[in-house]
Amino acid sequence: MAEILPFKAVRPAKAKAGLVVSRSYQDYSKAEIAAQLKNNPYSFLHIINPEYSLQEENVGESRFKMIRDRYLQYKEEGTFITDEEPFYYVYKIETPQNSCCGIIAAASARDYEKNIIKRHEDTIVHREILFKEYLKTAGFNAEPVLLTFPENRRIDNLISETINTTAEYNFTTGDGETHHLWKISNPEVAESLRSEFANIGSLYIADGHHRCASSALFAKESQINNPNHTGKEPYNYFLSYIISESSLKIKGFSRLVSDLNSHSKEEFLVLLKKNFSIENSEKKDLVPTEKHQFSMYLDGRFYSLQLKKTGYSLDDSRSNLDAVILDEHILKPILGIHDLRNDKRIAYFPERDNNVEIKRQVDSRKFAVGFAMLPPDIAEIKQIAEENLTMPPKSTYIEPKLRSGLTIYEF
């Protein structure tokens, strides 16, 4: 049973909503951030970059305190307002390519600990601790975890009932995305939504594994420090955007390696032939079309690699993943990449433009070889989570990518 609760959101004043919300900090180039900070005084980037106006750099707790101070300033100036009652929120994102609609709510850190909210990726401990300290000092979370659930007609109907009413927000951002937000103000609809989620056996993390883990750490620490802990305090929950599986867009990451581990091109191709059938391609862009097939760009040419049926045992759902096959048959044994997270010889690029980026990076001679594969589908992701397994780093690039500062959850 998943516990999904309404909450009192802090959110932008209606007239400023389109100016306040921002993409995740990592999605901007330095030049884009500088332009936003210079030209848009309302951008949420000013909160998470409080040192900009001071022309100084701070780290750790000092910076987190500055973030909180700037956030409180936004509230005092009326840039943010706070809802007087707890609500569920329906949020719809429309892009030129896709559209999705789901529920913004507070999910339970206890459900994450009990594996009702299931993960499919490993987290890095020092990043968990860092964000836990951020939550403790800043006192709010502005970037939702993306959770998903199986198709549910009742929840779809409740959402449809809400979006036929007047929205709180309708605005379009500079990148062509249109955003709509509704409050679920009908108590019967809200209770039906809570009850329907309670009947769902599991939720799955689509994006935001570190935010989930950090929220769970924060909840544990807060419980220890609160002698009157009841389990209903805000710190027991975290900000989430919950959408159905069909609304997810799952893409992959290409892998690029800076050298061939002292092998010549000819030696490298011979080593690959042990486990792969190799075909040259004259195409300027070669995209895999089936599982266990990889496209490789090497020395100005694309190759198609097809895993041979002999010599590899697909023992469980993890070993069947193409990212694992690439790791076990090429990256580790041939190219000497044993630490996928930290080895500086490997880089990852989300596959937004097919293999254009692979070709560009290898042609620039920054990298020697690049690989692309089909991403896992939602059934594979769920199976990994159900078996308590984890995928290799950068196995999925999942959309929608959410905005910061639209609805803020305070502790």
Question: Band of the pLDDT at 353, cuts 50, 70, 90?
Answer: low
Res 354: pLDDT: 63
- Name the β-bridge partners of 121: 391
Can you give the chain as a three-state secondary structure string?
A: CCCEECECCEEECHHHHHHHCECCHHHCCHHHHHHHHHHCCCCCHHHHCCCCCCCCCCCHHHHHHHHHHHHHHHHHCCCEEECCCCEEEEEEEECCCCEEEEEEEEEEHHHHHCCCEECCECCCHHHHHHHHHHHHHHCEECCCEEEEECCCHHHHHHHHHHHCCCCCEEEECCCCCEEEEEEECCHHHHHHHHHHHHCCCCEEEEECHHHHHHHHHHHHHHHHCCCCCCCCCHHHEEEEEEEEHHHCEEECEEEEECCCCCCCHHHHHHHHCCCEEEEEECCCCCCCCCCCEEEEEECCEEEEEEECCCCCCCCCCCCCCHHHHHHHHHHCCCCCCCCCCCCCCEEEEECCCCCHHHHHHHHCCCCCEEEEECCCCHHHHHHHHHCCCCECCCCCEEECCCCECCCEEEC
Domains by residue range for the chain, with CATH: 4-250+399-410 (no CATH), 253-374 (3.30.1760)
How far is it, in rounded angstroms, from Cα 298 to Cα 300?
6
- With a pLDDT cut of 90, the percent of the chain lying above it is 84
Place of tokens 């300033």: 73
C-alpha torsion angle, residues 151, 157, 159, 161 (rounded to 10): 170
How far is it, in rounded angstroms, from Cα 99 to Cα 362?
34
Res 56: pLDDT: 56
Res 355: pLDDT: 81
pTM, 2 dp: 0.92
Question: How many residues appear in the chain?
Answer: 411
Backbone angles phi, psi at 91, to 5 degrees: -125, 125
CB 87 within 8 A of CB 352: no
pLDDT single digits (tens) 127-153: 999 999 999 999 999 999 999 999 999
How far is it, in rounded angstroms, from Cα 381 to Cα 376?
7
Place of tokens 């990592």: 26
Report residue 396 as tokens.
Answer: 């999925």
- With a pLDDT cut of 70, the percent of the chain lying above it is 97
Place of tokens 């070669």: 286
Question: Band of the pLDDT at 364, cuts 50, 70, 90?
Answer: very high
Question: Which of 239, 242, 10, 220 minimizes the C-alpha distance to 128?
Answer: 220
Res 285: pLDDT: 76
What average pLDDT is seen over the chain? Answer: 93
Res 59: pLDDT: 66
Res 370: pLDDT: 97
Interstrand relation of 237-244 and 145-149 (parallel, antiparallel or unpaired): parallel
| Alpha-carbon distance values, 273 to 223, 290, 391 (Å) | 56, 19, 26
Average pLDDT estimate for 16-38 = 89
Backbone angles phi, psi at 69, to 5 degrees: -60, -45
Say yes or no to pLDDT of 175 above 90: no
Average pLDDT estimate for 51-56 = 59
Question: Which of 126, 175, 143, 169 minimizes the C-alpha distance to 342?
Answer: 126
How far is it, in rounded angstroms, from Cα 238 to Cα 411?
9
Least confident of 55-64, 115-124, 262-271, 368-377: 55-64
Res 53: pLDDT: 56
Average pLDDT estimate for 80-102 = 95
Q: Which conformational region is residue 248 in: left (phi greater than 0), alpha (psi within -120 to 50 degrees), or beta?
A: beta
Question: Which of 104, 136, 122 minimizes the C-alpha distance to 215?
Answer: 136
CB 387 within 8 A of CB 59: no
